[in-house]
Amino acid sequence: MNEYEKYMKTCFKLAREGIGNTSPNPLVGCVVLDREGNIISTGYHKKYGENHAERDALLKLDKNSAKDGTLIVNLEPCNHYGKTPPCTDIIIEYGIKRVVISSRDTNPRAAGGIKKLEDAGIEVIQRILEREGHKLNEVFFTNINEKRTFVALKTATTIDGKIASSTGDSKWITSEKARKYSYKLRKQYDAILTSSSTVIADNPKMVHKNKIIIDSHLRCDYSSEIFKQGKIYLFTQKSISECPEVPQIEFISNKDLSLKFILDELYKRNIMSVFVEAGGILSGTFIKEELVDKIYHFTAPKILNDNNGKSAFNGDSVSLIKFAKEFSLESIKKLSPDVLLTYTRS
């Protein structure tokens, strides 16, 4: 591992400190070296609307200490006025001699950072741990490159793939340790998405700042736990005139309540990522329509062995194995006694 890779890994670690707070902006960390190659400052993008990582790191220094130094950052410095001034300007102002980046910024609004730095006589080294940098900001790159909301889906099953018995009993399949880790995963995404069936069957709290409920026929009881905290986006086929006035709920109506319509509406509302926690029908429909980017699959060392038990995915009718949807295994994490398998789209 060369020195730049080592410092880039530090940038990734710093960037992750902003998880859950920077959307729709990316996760960015920064390391500044003096002319002798010693670390003199670090920074990261803490919250949307606040200083970007480069500005956060440089403002801790006097200009003389940074002059002729090296700035390492996992994403191309921005070159536009948004909530804050361009990061390119402060890099040039502080006399930085070299900038090292992992990923280019594909957002057209922020483009041109590398060119502006090079035009100012600054050496720019690119593509250091680029694959890891892209993975770190997979939500951001999906938003920018595909103009859509990123979808992560979570399941928790027995070894035989069941999420509940035939009677609907599901508490608890996985251990408390696995459940706590699941709560941690939720915080990485802009919103939790579920169905009215899950709300009615389980009465979950799903604590989060944003929650999305698909309730085609307005079956939910608004005194349920899920409605007691956070902003709610409720999608229904009923007309808006039939929807009650509930302060924290935004009702969104459409006769054709497709998942594509729902994701498009969320994207318009700056919900850049969703964490789906639902029953087999809704989860299976997301898979059927090829709308899932990542799956978090918790498996408990239990076999239900129930012919009529509820499956994690039950949204289609498939006759041949060749029609199975394929995913790639990204990682395996032991949460004893359970295991978390993380998959991404192939």
d(CA 164, CA 157): 8
d(CA 9, CA 171): 39
d(CA 79, CA 134): 20
d(CA 136, CA 103): 10
Torsion on CA atoms 32, 35, 37, 39, rounded to nearest 10: -30
Question: How far lies 227's CA from each of 20, 166, 168, 282, 318, in Å?
Answer: 21, 27, 22, 20, 36
Q: What is the DSSP string of 30-92?
A: EEEE-TTS-EEEEEE--STTS--HHHHHHTTS-HHHHTT-EEEEEE----S-SSS--HHHHHH
Instruction: Decide if 220 contacts 213 (C-beta within 8 A).
Output: yes
Beta-carbon count within 10 A of 266 CB: 24
Backbone φ and ψ of 203, nearest 5°: 45, 55
Instruction: Decide if 218 contacts 242 (C-beta within 8 A).
Output: yes
The single residue of 36, 54, 118, 250 carrying the catalytic annotation is: 54
d(CA 244, CA 247): 10
CA-closest candidate to residue 296, choices 155, 157, 190, 142: 155
Helix (H, G, I), strand (E, B) or coil at 299: strand
d(CA 189, CA 153): 11
d(CA 340, CA 342): 6
Instruction: Decide if 295 contacts 339 (C-beta within 8 A).
Output: no
Helix (H, G, I), strand (E, B) or coil at 97: coil
Backbone φ and ψ of 157, nearest 5°: -130, 165
Catalytic-residue membership of 17: no
Catalytic residues, by residue number, are 54
